[in-house]
Structure 1
Amino acid sequence: MLRAFLRTEAGSTSVLLVATVLALLWANSPWSGTYEAFWHTPTGISFGDAHFSLDLRHWVNDGLMSVFFFLIGLEVSYEVRLGQLRDRRLIAVPAVAAFGGMLVPAGVYLLLNFGGPGAGGWGVPIATDTAFVLGLLAVVGARCPDPLRAFLLTLAIVDDVLAIMIIAIFYTADLSVPALLVAALLLAAIVTLRWLKIWRAPAYILLAFALWVATLESGIHPTLIGIALGILVFVYAPTDHKLLLAGEAVQEFTSEPSAQAAREAARRVQRAVSVNERLQLRLQPWSSYVIVPIFALANAGVRLDGETLREAATSPVAIGIALGLLVGKFVGIALGTWLPLRFGWGILPGNLVWGQLLGGAAVSGIGFTVALFIVDLAFEGSPLHDTAKIGILAGSLLSAVMGWVIFKLAWDRGGVCAPPDAEPPEELPNTLSVPVAPEDHVRGPANARVTIVEYGDFECPYCGRLHPVLEEIRRKNPDVRLVFRHYPVRSLHPRATSAAIVAEAAADQGRFWEMHDILYDNQRFLTDADLNHYAAELDVTPWTDVPRHSSRIAADEASGRESGVRGTPTLFLNGIRYEGGHDLGSITRAVAELRQSA
């Protein structure tokens, strides 16, 4: 899910950039007068004597953008229930960083505008534009590892939720109590349908549209409803029963292909995946490639001539927004990252160095979508409207440049993948320090010509990808045996040690490899409740001898450190460290070469 999201957002950045440039060219062309005239074209819907009308810009900002915020709600719901936000230790750092990245920019802006005509624009520099940030990180490439993208995505989710709350609380017009009551009743109706498990898409669409109209009439910005409806959509992990039914339907289709079997297989496979994930898959391209670029086209157009630029250069509003994005975001996120790490409130999602974190803090100053949104709410009809937009463009451009420079400096200094507390470069041993012994966990014949020793971590995603590769090699090569030794990376994988203890408990009853396979097949589900469930499946009592099992795990770790292991997975082939790729072809060739030499 996270990789698909990143690919879509990064790929759409070019479309968003083109739309922004087109808006600026249009607003500065000989036909600049048509820009505002076009987006103020009134368009409405009539039902008999009833008439509902908005201009095109409001249809985009209040209507289409509700889909954008609906997707944010879907992403929040998924991450809280199945993703990274399940683990409070992983949430803490980006959440505090997001708070810092909102408070400090608002403070910087108010230092220059408090008590002035532009004071109401303090919310403009608080929001990070996820699409532009992830697009820039894609350009940065290897300088930005996946854990930093995950960190910034979590930060952006918290940032978006807080920004929407600020819009709802501080940028809401006069409230209409009757419309608000109608909106509450419609929302209650949607919740009731969900509770009754009535799944009829037309009913939800009709109620959602009516709720959007009622919310708009109430004075509350309808984006709040978008994110609320997204959070309400069901999200769940595929159950074993649904996966079994889907597998049976696919197998039936492959054995006797027919249109009926194909439809049934497609239906059961689809039902195995939650509605939340299916909606994200369908709506994300529309949001990324259509809705957000149209929003940019409708809102980014601002006159850039000598007079407007001179006015912006001396305007506390433009300067406050630019400094809030450039300096406030950087300082706020950096400080918000340092505090929870310093006091042990949480951990980072991967091997990150401060150069990467500071680069991420800098590019988070790219504020566009939500920033333009708040400008429209804070300065609609005000002469400060265009000045604020110029501040957004200047601050975002400078933040992108500063982030690029920081990433380049961090890359040039080296040590990109080392954790903050990593050891200095050293000459690592190349051989296995502790030979394979009877107490090791061994899978394969004792007289095997090739022995693969793996130092692994049950929560490590790379180990999870390697697991089927090693099994395939062992299946195709009867003279290969596999030895597994524990190397839980506790700073990155908080559940790895508990999983290793349960595996050792299974080993006491001769069922280590069965538990080994279960744990790798269910890497996303390693809570204590999950581990107890797996133990019960194998009739294993998991927590009866924790000190002994912990000692065994520590012995494996010690042998790994002596052998030069610094991360997972690390392989030794016949006692020599393997330095090649972890794909099937590379390891197979290495095994063949060892067999020949043996």
Structure 2
Amino acid sequence: MWRVKRGNSQTRAGRQALLAQLSGPVRRFLATEVGGAGLLLAAVVVAMVWANSPWSEHYESLWATEGTIAIGGAELSMDLGHWVSDGLMALFFFVIGMEVRYELSVGELTGGGRIVIPVVGAVGGMVVPALLYLAIAPGGEAANGWGVVIGTDTAFMLGALAVVGPRFSTQLRIFLLALTVIDDIVAVSVIGAVYSGSIRFWPLAGMLALCAVPMLLNRWGVWRSAPYVVVVVALWLLTLRAGLHASIAGMLGGLLVPAHPRAREAVERAARSFRAFRQSPMADVGMAARRGLQRAVSVNERLQSALHPWTSYLIVPVFALANAGVDLRGGVLGDALTSPVTWAVVVGLTVGKPIGVGLSAVLGARFGLGRLPQGVRPAHVFGGAALSGIGFTVSLLIARLAFEDRLLRDEAIVGVLLGAVLATVLGWIVFRAAAALRGLREADLPRVLDPPVDPVADHVKGPRDAPLTLVEYADFECPFCARTTGVSEELRERFGDDLRYVFRHLPLPDVHPHAEFAARAAVAAAAQGRFWEMHDRLFEHQGELEYEDIAGYAAEIGLDVERFLRDVDDEETAARVRADVRSAEASGARGTPTFYVNGRRHVGPHDTETLAAALEEALQASR
């Protein structure tokens, strides 16, 4: 359930223009999730073996060990189990809260339209499992466990998706991550509202007052992380004093840490500082460069990058180690397998989640409430919905909070563990059936260039019959595209007549207001055989793309300016740009720059060496 999104050397389409392309850093993050799931599984195995071994009393006594922090006369004392669930897990939910804030501010959920179907699916995926649980579980204390079946463990879910899901599942992962954002918020709200103790008024009032401080820090332009961390620690202490579960402090604190897109000016300042350090590598210059780099990235992203490895590789595995150990000896396993609480949890997770998430999302899309991501079909949604029945982290936490009776708690934990296994098997069956019966072997954006390169219509540099073709979708106002112009020239020098380079337009007007006009100017220059000259001028003067500026560039490169200006306003010129945008949509390009090597979308960094390696591989294949 934890995610982090890092920076990307690509300009994304605005939410009203195109769907965003999943970035390389996010792909690396997903790999981290899967790696964390492996450690999580190992922790579960160790906990179960330990709890059922001759040394099981040491397992119980370890987590009952008292730990105290004292400063002067003030002290905070809890047993080790509570330090894990109320301390370390608060940090876990803090990272979740920051990711939710990032997604809502500048990430995948910024646009209202793309959040509707994940919201519908998430709500269905919590209501239906809870109702099924209550229908099966007996009354009394057992009914308190309905919250056990509402959560989804993202780490395990993504790990299972990597093993049993489609070969390429980028778009399905985006959908499932968006769904778990809503799941996270509701699950933590349930913990705070239902499973907290008695509420104390004054600490609660202090919490609410403290929430204004991060907003003030952001308004005052405070960019260092330390003040925000101090506020969140104080918020955590007040939450404990108020009688609320610490997860509330974590989620709330994360939501208050600001996230914003990188300002171009800040990035350029950081680049100048770094160049200054290269020229004069002195301590004060280096420190200034470091501050410049930090200021170019939001506090939210910097804290996520710092804390995410700790949550993935330490905190959540330790939580599993502390909570997954159920002593199944003495008939406990047999009792659990015949207990209505166990099967209420299993049915809620393995039946309620697929029905609730799958039907809600598919019907919501069918009735026009929103759209599924491109490349994701209803069968993929049901497969992902089955995997969302892997509740684990939040389910274990709520099981510990919901039941005072040790037997009921152990039965619920057995249900969570059994449900995780059955949900994975069910997801595998759904995905295999979709592949066998419907041919749905991918849940990703298109990966093939569409249409293929046309030497007459496209802007081509290099021999027409070259064995290698590098196509770039670019935006004249995109700073990353300006840097890749040098990359394309280096590649042409390296591969010579073996490479032809093709430029296609993908203006992102929501992000770059002058991009579409600049693209039309390049097409108008092409009508007089001067495309590449105008191409170079536009990238050299990205900050000067007004009408008068571009008319001046036309005169500089020797164009008939009157004809050029008529062509810029001509409908055929606009149609030529729109054709490239349609081809980008059909080819799976969602940001700039996006490259295609011999007709296949290049996934990963787009520096010279990486692209050269991809071209070398394609050249060997062509030979």
Distance in 1, Cα, partners of 2:503 & 2:523: 15
Counterpart for residue 442 of structure 1: 459
Q: 2:587 aligns with which of 559, 562, 567?
A: 567
Counterpart for residue 164 of structure 1: 188
Deviations 1:144-170 (CA, angstroms, capped at 9, x unpaired): 521122221111122111111121222
Counterpart for residue 267 of structure 1: 291
Counterpart for residue 222 of structure 1: 246
Q: 1:25 aligns with which of 49, 59, 63?
A: 49
Counterpart for residue 251 of structure 1: 275
Counterpart for residue 138 of structure 1: 162
Moved more, 119-128 or 130-139: 130-139
Q: How far 1:580 moved relative to its partner? A: 6.6
Deviations 1:268-306 (CA, angstroms, capped at 9, x unpaired): 223221111111111011111111111111111112236
Q: How far 1:222 moved relative to its partner? A: 2.0
Distance in 2, Cα, partners of 1:5 & 1:98: 22
Moved more, 194-203 or 585-594: 585-594
Counterpart for residue 584 of structure 1: 612
Partner SS, residue 67 of structure 1: helix
Change (3 A) 1:202 1:451: closer
Q: How far 1:398 moved relative to its partner? A: 0.8
Change (3 A) 1:282 1:385: same
Residue identity matched to 1:247 = A
Counterpart for residue 90 of structure 2: 66
Distance in 2, Cα, partners of 1:312 & 1:4: 39
Counterpart for residue 527 of structure 1: none
Kept in 2, the 8 Å contact 1:88–1:346? The answer is no
Distance in 2, Cα, partners of 1:226 & 1:34: 30
Distance in 1, Cα, partners of 2:377 & 2:178: 18
Kept in 2, the 8 Å contact 1:580–1:586? The answer is no
RMSD over aligned Cα atoms = 4.4
Kept in 2, the 8 Å contact 1:518–1:534? The answer is no
Counterpart for residue 372 of structure 2: 348
Counterpart for residue 417 of structure 1: 442
Q: 2:211 aligns with which of 168, 172, 187?
A: 187
Residue identity matched to 2:313 = Y
What are structure 2's unaligned runs of at least 5 residues? 1-5, 7-25, 552-564, 590-596, 603-610
Change (3 A) 1:43 1:435: closer
Correspondence 1:76-475 to 2 at 5 A? 76-113=100-137, 115-140=139-164, 143-198=167-222, 203-305=227-329, 307-412=331-436, 414-417=439-442, 436=456, 440=457, 442=459, 444=461, 470=488, 472-474=490-492
Deviations 1:322-371 (CA, angstroms, capped at 9, x unpaired): 11111111111111220232123323334223443322111111011111
Distance in 2, Cα, partners of 1:118 & 1:592: 64
Change (3 A) 1:535 1:63: farther
Kept in 1, the 8 Å contact 2:203–2:242? The answer is yes
Residue identity matched to 2:270 = A
Q: How far 1:200 moved relative to its partner? A: 6.2
Count of residues paired in the alignment: 557
Kept in 1, the 8 Å contact 2:509–2:516? The answer is no
TM-score, normalised on structure 1?
0.79
Kept in 2, the 8 Å contact 1:581–1:587? The answer is no
Moved more, 217-226 or 55-64: 217-226
Distance in 1, Cα, partners of 2:397 & 2:543: 48
Residue identity matched to 1:73 = G
Kept in 1, the 8 Å contact 2:392–2:416? The answer is yes
Kept in 1, the 8 Å contact 2:224–2:299? The answer is no
Counterpart for residue 425 of structure 1: none
Q: How far 1:52 moved relative to its partner? A: 2.7
Distance in 2, Cα, partners of 1:328 & 1:519: 56
**Higher RCO (CA 8 Å, separation ≥ 6 residues):** 2
Partner SS, residue 77 of structure 2: strand
Change (3 A) 1:207 1:244: closer
Residue identity matched to 2:376 = L
Counterpart for residue 562 of structure 2: none
Q: How far 1:265 moved relative to its partner? A: 2.8
Kept in 1, the 8 Å contact 2:520–2:574? The answer is no
Counterpart for residue 17 of structure 2: none
Q: How far 1:392 moved relative to its partner? A: 0.7
Distance in 2, Cα, partners of 1:185 & 1:331: 41
Kept in 2, the 8 Å contact 1:504–1:549? The answer is no
Kept in 1, the 8 Å contact 2:523–2:576? The answer is no
Distance in 2, Cα, partners of 1:195 & 1:429: 46
Residue identity matched to 2:587 = G
Change (3 A) 1:290 1:485: closer
Change (3 A) 1:122 1:471: farther
Q: Does 1:41 align with 2:70?
A: no
Residue identity matched to 1:584 = A
Deviations 1:241-279 (CA, angstroms, capped at 9, x unpaired): 222222222223333444444433333223221111111
Deviations 1:549-590 (CA, angstroms, capped at 9, x unpaired): 6644566689x79xxx96357xxxxxxx94578543554797
Moved more, 160-169 or 111-120: 111-120
Kept in 2, the 8 Å contact 1:457–1:496? The answer is no
Kept in 1, the 8 Å contact 2:170–2:444? The answer is no
Change (3 A) 1:510 1:520: closer
Distance in 2, Cα, partners of 1:429 & 1:153: 28
Counterpart for residue 11 of structure 2: none
Q: How far 1:379 moved relative to its partner? A: 0.6
Distance in 2, Cα, partners of 1:53 & 1:279: 27
What are structure 1's unaligned runs of at least 5 residues? 423-427, 522-530, 570-576
Residue identity matched to 1:14 = G
Deviations 1:86-139 (CA, angstroms, capped at 9, x unpaired): 122322222221111111111111111364431111111110001111222233
Residue identity matched to 1:77 = R
TM-score, normalised on structure 2?
0.76
Kept in 2, the 8 Å contact 1:451–1:483? The answer is no
Counterpart for residue 18 of structure 2: none
Change (3 A) 1:141 1:381: closer
Deviations 1:425-450 (CA, angstroms, capped at 9, x unpaired): xxx99986x661xxx463648x9775
Distance in 2, Cα, partners of 1:501 & 1:65: 48
Change (3 A) 1:203 1:312: same
